[in-house]
Structure 1
Amino acid sequence: MMSQNGQFRSYGDGAILVAAFSAEGRRYDAHRHAEHQLAWASSGMLTVTSAAGTWVLPPARALWIPAGTEHAMDADRHTTVCCPYFGEGRGPRWTRPTVVAIGALARELILHLAAAELAAAARRRAEGVLLDQLAEVPVTTIAVPMPRDPRALAVARAVVDDPADDATLEMWGRRAGAAVRTLARLFPAETGMTFGRWRTQVRLRAALPLLAAGLPVATVARRVGYATPSAFVAVFRKVTGVPPATYFTNRSPSPQDRDRR
Structure 2
Amino acid sequence: MSRDGHAPKASAAILVKTRGLAPGNRIDRHTHGEHQLAWARSGVLSVAAEAGTWVLPPTRALWIPAGVPHEVMASGRATMRSLYLRPESCPVTWPAPQPLSAGPLLAGLIDHLADTNLNPQRRARAEAVLIDVLEPVNRATIDAPMPTDERARDVARALRADPTDARSLAQWGSHVGASARTLARAFRADTGIPFGRWRTAVRLQAALPHLAAGESVARVARRVGYGTPSAFVAAFHRETGLTPGGYFRNPE
Q: Same fold (TM over 0.5)?
A: yes
TM-score norm. by structure 1 comes to 0.78
| 1:219 to partner: Cα distance | 1.7
| 1:224 to partner: Cα distance | 1.0
1:19 equivalenced with 2:17 (yes/no): yes
1:143 equivalenced with 2:139 (yes/no): no
Amino acid at match of 1:15: A
- Structure 2 unaligned blocks of 5 or more: none
Amino acid at match of 2:13: A
In the other structure, the counterpart of 1:163 is 163
In the other structure, the counterpart of 1:255 is none
In the other structure, the counterpart of 1:217 is 217
Q: CA distance change for structure 1 residues 38 and 19 in 2, over 3 Å: closer, same or farther?
A: same
Amino acid at match of 2:15: L
In the other structure, the counterpart of 1:258 is none
TM-score norm. by structure 2 comes to 0.81
1:69 equivalenced with 2:68 (yes/no): yes
| 1:195 to partner: Cα distance | 4.4
Give distance in 2, aligned partners of 1:50 and 1:177. Answer: 25
User: Which residue, out of 187, 192, 216, partners 1:191?
Assistant: 187
Give distance in 2, aligned partners of 1:243 and 1:67. Answer: 33
| 1:230 to partner: Cα distance | 1.6
| 1:77 to partner: Cα distance | 3.3
Give distance in 1, aligned partners of 2:202 and 2:59. Answer: 24
In the other structure, the counterpart of 1:245 is 245
Give distance in 2, aligned partners of 1:135 and 1:50. Answer: 21
Amino acid at match of 2:94: W
Give distance in 2, aligned partners of 1:251 and 1:103. Answer: 5
- Structure 1 unaligned blocks of 5 or more: 253-261
Q: CA distance change for structure 1 residues 164 and 246 in 2, over 3 Å: closer, same or farther?
A: same
| 1:226 to partner: Cα distance | 1.0
1:149–1:186 Cα contact (<8 Å) kept? no
Aligned pairs for 1:81-92 (under 5 A) are 81-88=80-87, 89-92=89-92
Across the two proteins, how many residue pairs are aligned to each other? 245
| 1:63 to partner: Cα distance | 1.1
In the other structure, the counterpart of 1:79 is 78
Which structure has the larger Rg? 1
Q: CA distance change for structure 1 residues 90 and 195 in 2, over 3 Å: closer, same or farther?
A: closer
Amino acid at match of 2:38: A
Q: CA distance change for structure 1 residues 196 and 56 in 2, over 3 Å: closer, same or farther?
A: closer
Name whichever of 152-161 and 51-60 sits farther off. 152-161
1:184–1:195 Cα contact (<8 Å) kept? no
Alpha-carbon RMSD: 2.9
1:144–1:202 Cα contact (<8 Å) kept? no
Give distance in 1, aligned partners of 2:195 and 2:143. Answer: 15
The structure, 1 or 2, with the larger RCO (C-alpha pairs under 8 Å, 6+ apart) is 2
Give distance in 1, aligned partners of 2:235 and 2:106. Answer: 33
Q: CA distance change for structure 1 residues 116 and 251 in 2, over 3 Å: closer, same or farther?
A: closer
Amino acid at match of 2:186: E
2:100–2:136 Cα contact (<8 Å) kept? yes
2:43–2:57 Cα contact (<8 Å) kept? yes
Give distance in 2, aligned partners of 1:196 and 1:118. Answer: 50
Give distance in 2, aligned partners of 1:196 and 1:131. Answer: 37
| 1:65 to partner: Cα distance | 1.6
